[in-house]
Amino acid sequence: MTLLTVEGLDVFHGDLQATFGVDLQVAAGEAVAIIGANGAGKSTLLRAIIGLTPARHGTIRLEGEDITRLSCDMIARRGIALVPEGRRLFPSLTVEENLRLGSARARPGPWNLEAAYDLFPAMTDFRHRPAGMLSGGQQQMVAIARALMMNPRLLLCDEVSLGLAPAIIGDIYACFRRIRDSSVSLVLVEQDILRARAASDRVYCLLKGRVTLQGASGEVALDAIRAAYFGEAAA
Ligand SMILES: Nc1ncnc2c1ncn2[C@@H]1O[C@H](COP(=O)(O)OP(=O)(O)OP(=O)(O)O)[C@@H](O)[C@H]1O
Ligand SMILES: [Mg+2]
């Protein structure tokens, strides 16, 4: 069953068109990676899906329901959560206060404080520290956990590995398996092609706002992805 269907999506920032007729599908239980260079329109696409930067043309459907014109709040309540680029925690609030804010629009489901600490046991040690005092990796754990507190059906993650050390990135990516086991579908925006392929069932490449390639992660060749990513002819 298709959980999310995006069709013909055009999103603008003022006069600047950031996405051009983007089509995207996410099946229930699936992990989809979106890869592309800086400025390709990856964040814009995620922001349009959660209603933060509304689409000018095209439709977004969640389990068949047209959510294109719904507010962020209504979309959140229907079960789409975003882990935003740059984490966007409240720096002066503690970890636990940040997590509790995530549950403000929560749906019923398995994710609560206890489950969040179980997902990232290290977070227990700094639960009463202000989020602004944490390392990048620690902040990323909190950002993912905060989004999960909404009990989403679909979790959109925008470049969770950006600026983090490889060991920490491994820890963060390890959580996605458990998140999927809780019946949450995933969209992972990632610039690292290998990591994106390894963590997903299907990949989409975005180049200058257009989908240039899509396919099963285990089947699309690395050369084809690189070509679709950088806009070069495949070797
Ligand atoms: N708030 C904004 N106002 C104006 N233009 C914007 C805004 N946000 C993004 N853009 C432009 O829209 C285009 C797509 O940007 P977007 O941030 O979606 O790309 P991205 O693929 O997420 O890039 P990155 O990998 O750097 O995060 C770029 O040309 C960018 O400059
Ligand atoms: Mg981005």
For residue 12, the CA-to-ligand 1 centroid distance in Å is 10
Instruction: Please state the rounded mean pLDDT for residues 192-206.
Output: 93
pLDDT tier at 235, thresholds 50, 70, 90: very low
Domain-embedded: residue 131:
no
What are the tokens at 183? 């019946």
Q: Do 33 and 60 contact (CB within 8 A), yes or no?
A: no
Q: How confident is the model at residue 229 (pLDDT cuts 50, 70, 90)?
A: confident
- Structural domain contains residue 95: no
Helix (H, G, I), strand (E, B) or coil at 189: strand
pLDDT in tens, 26-56: 999 999 999 999 999 999 999 999 999 999 9
Report if residue 218 sits inside a domain.
yes
Q: Is 6 contained in some domain? A: yes
Integer Cα distance of 152 and 6 in angstroms: 18
How many angstroms does the Cα of residue 43 sit away from the middle of ligand 2? 4
pLDDT of residue 227: 84
26 belongs to a structural domain: yes
Q: Whose CA is nearest to atom 31 of ligand 1?
A: 39
Total number of domains in the chain = 1
Q: Report pLDDT digits (tens) over 91-145.
A: 999 999 999 998 887 889 999 999 999 999 999 999 999 999 999 999 999 999 9
Handedness of CA 42, 138, 143, 201 (dihedral sign): positive
Cβ neighbours, 10 Å, residue 23:
13
With a CB cutoff of 8 Å and minimum separation 6, the contacts of 3 are 26, 27, 28, 30, 62, 63, 153, 154, 185
Is 90 exceeded by the pLDDT of residue 166? no
Domain with 193, as residue range(s), is 2-85+151-234
Q: Residue 190 Cα, ligand 1 centroid: separation in angstroms? A: 14
Check which CATH number belongs to the domain holding 56 and give it: 3.40.50.300
Residue 62 lies in a domain: yes
Picking from 204, 192, 146, the residue whose alpha carbon sits closest to that of residue 30 is 204
What is the number of the ligand closest to the CA of 20? 1
Q: Which residues pair with 207 in a beta bridge?
A: 210
Report the pLDDT value the prediction gives residue 233, as an integer from 0 to 100: 60
Residue 178 located in a structural domain: yes
Residue 133 falls within a domain, yes or no? no
